[in-house]
Amino acid sequence: MKFQLETIGLPTAYNAIVAMRVLYDGWPLIYAPLSSAAWHLRTLLTIGAGMIEPVLALPTEPQAAPLGAEMLTTYHHTHDRGAWVQDILPRLALENGAGAIHTTNPSASLFGKVPTLVSPAELERRQSGSRWKAALGRGGLARAQILWPSDLPAPRLPGAVRRLPPVVHAEFQIAAAQASASRTRLPEEFILVHGLPDERSALSLLESWTWAAASIGEFYPLVIVDLDEATARLVQEQLPRFHVEDSVRILNAVQPQELAGIYQACTALVHLGQPAPWGNPLRAALAGGKAVVAQREAHTEAIVGAAAYLTPPEDLRAFGAAMITVVVDENAREKLEDAARQRAAHWKADAFKGELLVIYRELASRARH
C-alpha cells in the first residue's frame, strides 16, 4: 500500500504554539460524516489550528477525500478498522513525524510507539470483524490518555482520564446555524431525529411515534437523518406496520454543511438511548436553543440538566406524549428553549482549547526529553 502526504492549503508561515505534529484519525469523516465522532473531530481540527501542526489521516483514496481539509493529509485506503487502529495509524504517525495520535474512537493500538489521545465520540459496541483486534483495541486504551467531558460521570474505560470542559462545534451555535439554514427539502415544521444507535432504538422510536402521530404527525412530521443503510431499510419497511408512513421522512444524502441548518429549522430534537460523550446531538440542539425530548439516562441528564423533557427509557407511551407536549404547549417548549440556551452558554471553545493545549504541551515536552 502506497502512503501519500499532501499539503492542502497549508499556510506558508505556520506558527504553531506547540512545536509538534498530531495525527488525527479521520475514519469518521469517511465512513460516518454526520456522526458525533465526525463532528467532534471537526471541532478538534478547528480548535487545534494554530496550536499544533495537524496531520489528518484518512482511510480512503485522495480523490474520495472530503473537501475543505486545509492541512497536511495522509491516506491509506482500508475498510478494516481493526487494522487501521492497530497497525496503520501508528505507522502513519511515525512516517509523518507525529508526536501523538488523536482519535475519537474508544480504541487504541496496543503495541504502537506513538502516544494516543482518545476523545470518545462513539459508543462502545460489538464491532464486526476480529475479536482479537477488538481486544487489542481495548487493551491499547490502558496506555492512552482518555479526554473526557467534565460534566459527565466518570468513564468505565482503562487509561488515564483527563477532564476537559464541554464543547460544541461552532456551526451549531445560533448565529452560524441561522446563516446556513436551508429549507429546500424540509417541512415547514418538524421534529428531528439525528441517528439511531441500533435496531431496538429504531423500533422504539416508531412505537412511541404511534402515540403522537395521530395528534401532531400531519403538521409536525418526524424527519430522520444519519441512518446507516440497514437501519434506514428497517425503518422504511416498518412504517406501514406502525401505520406512520405518512408522518415519517428519512432524509437521505445530507451533507455535513447542511446539518446545522436542519437543526436550526426543526421544532425540537428527539434522542433515544445514551449519547456519545463528545459531539452528540444533545449538545448540538442545546447550542441552537432547541427543545429536546430524550430518555432519562445518566449521561443524558448530565448534559441537558433542566433543558430537556426526559421520560423513563421503557415508557414509550410517555415518550410519545412528551413529543406532543413540546409541540403543542408553546410555553413548555419556550421554557426548554430558554434553558437550552442557558445551558449551552457555559460551553466555551476557548476553555476547551486552553485545556487541550496543556495536554499537547505535555506531550511535546515528553517528546523532547
pLDDT in tens, 44-78: 999 887 778 999 999 999 988 876 656 899 999 99
Residue type, 239: L
Question: What is the distance between the alpha carbons of residues 128 and 133, in angstroms, rounded to a whole number?
Answer: 10
Question: What is the distance between the alpha carbons of residues 72 and 152, in angstroms, rounded to a whole number?
Answer: 33
Domain count, the chain: 2
Same-domain check for residues 213 and 128: no
Same-domain check for residues 237 and 278: yes
CATH number at residue 325: 3.40.50.2000
The structure's pTM equals: 0.91
Same-domain check for residues 256 and 130: no
CATH number at residue 31: 3.40.50
Summarised one tens digit per residue, pLDDT across range 222-277 is 999 999 999 999 999 999 999 999 999 999 889 999 999 999 999 999 999 999 99
Summarised one tens digit per residue, pLDDT across range 308-350 is 999 999 999 999 999 999 999 999 999 999 999 999 999 999 9
Same-domain check for residues 331 and 221: yes
> pLDDT confidence of 127, banded at 50, 70, 90?
low
Q: Are 235 and 226 in contact (CB under 8 A)?
A: no
Same-domain check for residues 177 and 141: no
Would the CA dihedral through 284, 287, 291, 294 be positive or negative?
A: positive
Q: Are 225 and 262 in contact (CB under 8 A)?
A: yes
Same-domain check for residues 147 and 195: no
Question: What is the distance between the alpha carbons of residues 271 and 279, in angstroms, rounded to a whole number?
Answer: 14
Mean pLDDT of 134-155: 89
Neighbours of 195 (CB within 10 A): 22
Same-domain check for residues 232 and 358: no
Helix residue ranges per DSSP H, 164-216: 174-180, 199-216
Same-domain check for residues 159 and 238: no
Domain that includes residue 135, residue range: 4-167+348-368
Same-domain check for residues 154 and 179: no
Same-domain check for residues 263 and 338: yes
Same-domain check for residues 56 and 130: yes
Same-domain check for residues 155 and 187: no
Nearest residue to 45 via CA among 12, 10, 77? 10
